[in-house]
Amino acid sequence: MSATQRPSPEPLRGVDAVVLVGGKGTRLRPLTLSAPKPMLPTAGVPFLTHLLSRIRAAGITHVVLGTSYKASVFEEHFGDGAALGLDLEYVVESEPLDTAGAIRNVADRLRADDVMVFNGDILSGVDLPAVVGTHREVNADVTLHLVKVTDPRRFGCVPTDAEGRVTAFLEKTENPPTDQINAGCYVFRREVIEEIPAGRPVSVERETFPGLLAAGARLQGHVDASYWLDLGTPAAFVQGSADLVRGIAPSAALPGEPGGAIVLDGALVRDDAALVGGSTVGAGCMVGSGARIDGSVLFDGAVVGAGAVVERCVVGANARIGDGAVLRDVVIGDDAVIGARCELLDGARVWPGVSLPDGAVRFSTDA
């Protein structure tokens, strides 16, 4: 029976989780100037809340967060994890250690023999107990979640043999031999983590996994076609939030029922405004008469004027969008002011606190 056919095991026991949340999120600036990427509001709650809730739903309770950039924000929000039914610990990197180095950096906090590792910016629908089931069934040293994608040319590919063993790690190529890519979720035997060199940057893709293959270790692939999205760009972030709101991506932390939009407490939306496409309207927002919010995320306190159109955008906290403005595929920083009848299109980014005059036009540029 294949990994995609195998029924889900019972909720996990004897498994720790490690979530890597140390990155600076530079591709998402200016949103990440004020908060780490995993803490950005996504479908009504910090993105990390969705991931932690899925981890808890799978039966894992002990979670270690590997932090670095704005590290204090995580503990200030989640504390000891009790509100989510978790036992959370935090380990701060004093210098960037790359993926495997960050995993090794938390080794002394681990308790279980099997450790499930997550990249903190991946939105996934993979069956977590099934991944651990694959790992234990074949007694693997490391098991990798591999997801099938329609266009693997943009990713490194990970081929497997007839038994599901990983055979290589291949760089991006125009003619990939497989549609399987590394999905950023792994199960390690704890002893393997302890053998990663400590105190220096180490990459799982370029050093740890190829080294284990060369040494004859068993690296197993758990292959499926589940929902998967890297939230590293503004377009992907908006899509992921909308997919969560619409119920396309799974979450146990959605603050409401899946549907066309989520409106958080204290928001004021005029009756003739349209909220569609999986939009999120944050707490204390105001959406004016005749405005249309489509597939977008409004952070807390944002104001959208009458007749404005906001499509596939992120509007930062307390930003103001003027009457009749048109925004498509753009990012507006916190406290920015966009004048009436402005037109911003195709990847334009407005930095926090910047004001654009009435009627301004921006295409694919920063302001």
**Residue 7 pLDDT greater than 80, yes or no:** no
Rounded CA gap, 324 and 338, in Å? 10
Phi, psi dihedral angles at 36 (to 5 degrees):
-65, 150
Give me Rg for the CA atoms of the chain: 21
Distance, in Å, from the CA atom of 134 to the CA atom of 324, rounded to the nearest integer, reads 54
Confidence (pLDDT) at 314: 95
Q: Is the confidence at residue 100, as pLDDT, over 70?
A: yes
pLDDT of amino acid 258 = 87
Domains of the chain, start order? 15-232 (3.90.550.10), 260-363 (2.160.10.10)
> Residues 27-49: pLDDT tens digits?
888 887 888 888 899 999 999 99
- Nearest 5°: CA angle at 69, between 232 and 84? 80
**Which has the minimum average pLDDT: 1-15, 244-258, 349-363?**
1-15
Of 292 and 25, which is predicted with more confidence?
A: 292
Residue 199: per-residue pLDDT: 87
172: Cβ contacts below 8 Å, ≥ 6 apart = 153, 154, 155, 156
Give pLDDT, residue 3: 37
Report the candidate in 167, 128, 176, 174 with the shortest Cα–Cα distance to residue 148.
Answer: 176
Q: Which residues pair with 304 in a beta bridge?
A: 287, 321
